[in-house]
A and B are shown apart, each in its own frame.
Chain A
Amino acid sequence: MPKITIQTTVNGRSVSKDVDPSLRLLDFLREELYLTGAKEGCGAGECGTCSVFVDGVLMKSCLMPAGKAQGTTIETVEGLAERNRLTVLQQAFHKTGASQCGYCIPGMVMAATSCLRGNPHASLDEIKEHLGGNICRCTGYSKIFEAVELARDVLNGSVPATALQEDAFKDSFLGANVRRLDAPSKVTGALKYAGDMTMPGMLHLQVLRSPHAHARIVSLDTSEAERMPGVEAVVTSADVPGVDGYGVFIHDQPVLARGKVRFVGDAVAAIAAETVAQARDALEKIKVVYEELPAVFDAEEAMKPGAPLVHEGNTDNICQHIPIRKGNIEDGFAKADVILEETFRTQRVEHAYLEPEAGLAYVEPDGTVTIHSPSQNITHHRHMLAHILAMPINKVRMIMSPVGGGFGGKEDMIYQGILALAAIKSRRPVRYVFTREESILVSAKRHPFVMRLRMGLTKDGRITATHMHSISDGGAYALSTPGVMRKHCILGAGPYEIDNVRIDAYGIYTNNTPSGAFRTFGAMQSLFATESMMDMAAEKLGLDPFEIRRINAMRDGAVTHTQQKLGSVSMLQVLDTLEKGSRWQPGVPNGRGATRDDLGGPGTRAPCTLGVRLRDTSDVAAE
């Protein structure tokens, strides 16, 4: 392989290395120098997890060929804290709780450092502008901005350095600003996520994925791929020794496609090779003959007789139907003065955690298969993998690596099985790191729903009956669909006392990307419908939206429509707090004309602006 010599100074140390000219600066730092503080969140310059200083200027190292670093001076997040003493900014991040999953944090710390180096008195607007190229998916940015402002003030002496110390607390942690134990390892870039780990002799895994939404695999020929340079193992479903199938509730997903692919991105075969590039080259030599099958992309279409069937043995594409019945809705609607009916739709959503899926698997001398991955459910994964590998559970070890954002999206064992097979077959440690594109293509999404909701109310705002009929696109495999349907129903009627409730949720198989767990687990969708309808009912009945909710709110001792008795219910307190906090202008939603008085005001976050630095024209005038 051709090499170029890169000479640079990295964190004060001279470095000279002969490297593959294809490397980006990010690869050079991570793979050649083991400086894994800079992360790869997207590889396309969008997310800022890879930010480093090049000759004092902050750059995205994923968009910089390593060749460009020739003769430059580079500073990474590892170089900020001298002799393990955190910088003021790092201490401020620690203090305010700015690091949550931590994956964006090295980049954030670098961007904030760049901002304050450029202007030690940067205003909040300017801080926001300078951090504009760095994405965080956990914090909502508030704590990060708080940290940068705190650091700025401490550095300027307007706030004493003691402000960086942990707040004092007495008997209880409740209400106290307690610092996270793992924050120092995150703000310094020291923490190793799965994609940061390396082992001697480690191979790199790449996966061949289906270009078709629904197709039969007529033949799969890996012979040429096996002969490609650097290839140590090619795995297919034929390598699965045990019972092939996983899923949070139903084990309907094979580790690698078994005779059929069910969505674009379904894993077909995998290759472990000495380098990622060799693995990718070898993937191209795998010959797959597909016979395309009719596919179905809409949940309601999939329920119709004659629709293409996604899974053999399932005759109606229904993955899970949850029916909930309380009272008698016909009686309830008969008592209603008004009946509202509406169809609500929600869309598929990607979690977009900053850390793409990654894992490292190896076989220990005693035969134990060990997998490091940011799994949100290691115990269940361990059980499933033991069945798949036909091994006793004590020979399967799952180690949860730091999770660089999960939000439910890392509950599914979508790659750990492939890694295990590759490690067993190659007898070498194997690492697999998804690209951002692969993560979006393959990982589960929030369930899209179509919800037909009918609600009956008396004139004074009391709900007499609610009937929700929900159909959700669960995609090609079950993943968390059964549980999501359940939660959708359990919470779907809202925190309201309703005598007559009927809810049906159908999770449906289609040839779309599988849907899975995502914050609120199906409840957000049904509550979007219910709460939207509460506002519509308020309009219809001439009631204040808070008032109509108070009329129906569950109180202490309420029994839910799934027969759960609730000891204490804080609904009324929540409503009071919200009403007060938002400075709510009472009244009917549609009775206030074009303007309202409760928008903006103190405590409201101002919209983002751009160009605050352009408004400062002092340097132009001075010239």
Chain B
Amino acid sequence: MLRCDDYYLPATLDEAFDLIERFPGEHRIIAGGTDLLPWAREGRAGDVHIPVLIDISRVAEMRGQKAQDGRIRLGANTTFAEFLKDPFLKRHLPVMAHAAIWFADDQLRAAATLAGNLVNGSPAGDGIPPMVAMEGSVVLESRKDGKRHTRTVPVADFIQGPGKTLLEPGELMTAIECDDMEGWGSAFEKVGHRRSLVISTCCVAALVKVDWATRRFADVRLAIGAVGPVPCRAKELEQSLIGQPVTAETIRSLSDRTAGFVRSRSRQEYRRKVLASFVERALGDALDELGIAPVSQPVHGEERLHA
């Protein structure tokens, strides 16, 4: 069980930094709490005593979302539920709605934040592949001698390994920025032991843009999660599609080039098979969202694996 001696709900960033300075080394930041509380249980961290919990979920500056210069800025308190409900987010970050529907359940999505998912740095964090695909970066703020310091780090660099990030003590993730993906087709594929509330065994985020005149891929973003120590972008696969005709064969040609992404030590064979199918299906679903179907030639005698 998680035990603490005090619980604070700062309303502003300055109040949050005041508390961080007041309780150096004996505080922990809490946002949604959906990772922290299950962590402090038998079989994981067990009974944990954290003297002070600083709950940042009511910090005003960390709320809201806006578009600027082709990028979208998400306040760190943006929850997964918002990606499913908020019309602005659905329009500008369509892939996040697909990822969110696979993330936990309604009730946890109402509490869990994307920023928390990134700070937690799990290899299976469902928010990470979409952010990597959308050139996401995190805004990290700290305060020293009364002065605010801000740095921006790409998500791909921020997450260093399982549970390891570049977040420094005293630093807060205050926002997340990523490309504005309005008009892109998107998809998110995921498989775990069940549908709801499950940790990914393999997941794929895909975004596509099509040149309608030539029916060719104008741009592609592909990122893969839960099959290695950190989620990663599949840039070479993206490159090989750009400029190619939108056909089932083009998409299927990627299938035998995905195995190398599987670096997890468990269930490798399964993950390789699923990943190959997922890349194919995610691209198909993303195209489908744009209303374009890849020209398909039926393939005989091939067994395809569906989750």
B55 touches A435 (CB 8 A): no
- Binary interface profile of A, 28-64, with partner B (CB < 8 Å = 1, else 0)? 0000000000000001111010010000011110111
Residues of B within 8 A of A43 (CB): 38, 41
Q: Report the minimum CB–CB distance from B46 to chain A (whole Å).
A: 10
Contact of A60 (CB < 8 Å), options: B91, B102, B107: B107
A22 touches B108 (CB 8 A): no
A44 touches B107 (CB 8 A): no
User: What's the dominant secondary structure at chain B's contact region?
Assistant: mixed
Q: Report the minimum CB–CB distance from B219 to chain A (whole Å).
A: 21
Total interface residues on B, using CB and 8 Å? 41
A132 touches B197 (CB 8 A): yes
Contact of B37 (CB < 8 Å), options: A63, A132, A613: A63
B4 touches A68 (CB 8 A): no
Residue of A nearest to B91 (CB): A620
A620 touches B107 (CB 8 A): no
B1 touches A22 (CB 8 A): yes
- Binary interface profile of B, 21-63, with partner A (CB < 8 Å = 1, else 0)? 0000000001001100110011100010000010101000000
Q: Report the minimum CB–CB distance from A359 to chain B (whole Å).
A: 19
Q: B90 near A: Cβ within 8 Å?
A: yes
Q: Report the minimum CB–CB distance from B3 to chain A (whole Å).
A: 4
Residues of A within 8 A of B88 (CB): 623
Residues of A within 8 A of B5 (CB): 2, 21
Complex-state Cα separation, A97 to B218, whole angstroms: 55
A67 touches B53 (CB 8 A): yes
Q: Please judge, given known A-B contacts A63-B108, A67-B7, A67-B9, whether A133 and B87 are in contact too, CB under 8 Å.
A: no
B30 touches A44 (CB 8 A): no
Q: A223 near B: Cβ within 8 Å?
A: no
Residue of A nearest to B109 (CB): A133
Residue of B nearest to A2 (CB): B5
Residues of A within 8 A of B34 (CB): 45, 63
Q: B106 near A: Cβ within 8 Å?
A: yes
Q: B152 near A: Cβ within 8 Å?
A: no
B105 touches A22 (CB 8 A): no
Residue of A44, A62, A280 ringed by the most chain B CB atoms within 10 A: A44
Complex-state Cα separation, A62 to B1, whole angstroms: 11
Contact of B47 (CB < 8 Å), options: A46, A68, A280: A280
B6 touches A57 (CB 8 A): no
Q: B98 near A: Cβ within 8 Å?
A: yes
Complex-state Cα separation, A395 to B288, whole angstroms: 72
Contact of A614 (CB < 8 Å), options: B1, B30, B101, B106: B101
B197 touches A68 (CB 8 A): no
Q: Chain A interface residue count: which class?
A: 35 or more
B41 touches A44 (CB 8 A): yes
Complex-state Cα separation, A608 to B197, whole angstroms: 14
Q: Report the minimum CB–CB distance from B200 to chain A (whole Å).
A: 13
Q: A130 near B: Cβ within 8 Å?
A: yes
Q: B166 near A: Cβ within 8 Å?
A: no
Residue of B nearest to A608 (CB): B195
Residue of B nearest to A61 (CB): B107
Q: B259 near A: Cβ within 8 Å?
A: no
Q: A24 near B: Cβ within 8 Å?
A: yes
Residue of A nearest to B30 (CB): A65
A133 touches B104 (CB 8 A): yes
A611 touches B101 (CB 8 A): yes
- Binary interface profile of A, 351-384, with partner B (CB < 8 Å = 1, else 0)? 0000000000000000000000000000000000
Q: Please judge, given known A-B contacts A45-B108, A59-B107, A132-B197, whether A2 and B37 are in contact too, CB under 8 Å.
A: no
- Binary interface profile of A, 584-623, with partner B (CB < 8 Å = 1, else 0)? 0000000000000000000000001011011000011011
Q: Report the minimum CB–CB distance from B9 to chain A (whole Å).
A: 6
Residues of A within 8 A of B38 (CB): 43-45, 63
- Binary interface profile of B, 88-118, with partner A (CB < 8 Å = 1, else 0)? 1011000001100110111110110000000
Residues of A within 8 A of B9 (CB): 67-68, 70
Complex-state Cα separation, A130 to B104, whole angstroms: 11
Residue of B nearest to A22 (CB): B3
Q: A277 near B: Cβ within 8 Å?
A: yes
Residue of A nearest to B110 (CB): A57
B110 touches A58 (CB 8 A): yes
Complex-state Cα separation, A66 to B84, whole angstroms: 26
Residues of A within 8 A of B41 (CB): 43-44, 435, 437
Residue of A43, A44, A60 ringed by the most chain B CB atoms within 10 A: A60
Residues of A within 8 A of B102 (CB): 610
Q: Report the minimum CB–CB distance from B98 to chain A (whole Å).
A: 7
Residues of A within 8 A of B97 (CB): 614
A133 touches B195 (CB 8 A): no
Q: B305 near A: Cβ within 8 Å?
A: no
Q: A349 near B: Cβ within 8 Å?
A: no
Q: Report the minimum CB–CB distance from A65 to chain B (whole Å).
A: 6
Residues of A within 8 A of B253 (CB): none
B37 touches A24 (CB 8 A): yes
B107 touches A68 (CB 8 A): no
Residues of B within 8 A of A114 (CB): 106
Q: Apart from A132-B195, A611-B98, A619-B90, list 10 A-B contacts with CB within 8 A.
A: A2-B5, A21-B4, A21-B6, A21-B53, A60-B108, A64-B111, A67-B8, A133-B106, A280-B47, A620-B87
Q: What residues of chain A have their CB less than 8 Å away from a CB belonging to chain B?
A: 2, 4, 21-22, 24, 43-46, 48, 51, 57-60, 62-68, 70, 111, 114, 129-130, 132-133, 276-277, 280, 435, 437-438, 608, 610-611, 613-614, 619-620, 622-623
Query: What would 28 A/B residue contacts be, using CB atoms closer than 8 Å?
Result: A2-B6, A21-B5, A21-B6, A22-B1, A22-B2, A45-B34, A45-B37, A46-B197, A48-B105, A48-B107, A58-B110, A59-B110, A63-B33, A65-B30, A65-B33, A65-B53, A68-B57, A114-B106, A129-B106, A133-B106, A277-B3, A435-B42, A437-B42, A613-B84, A614-B97, A620-B87, A620-B90, A623-B91
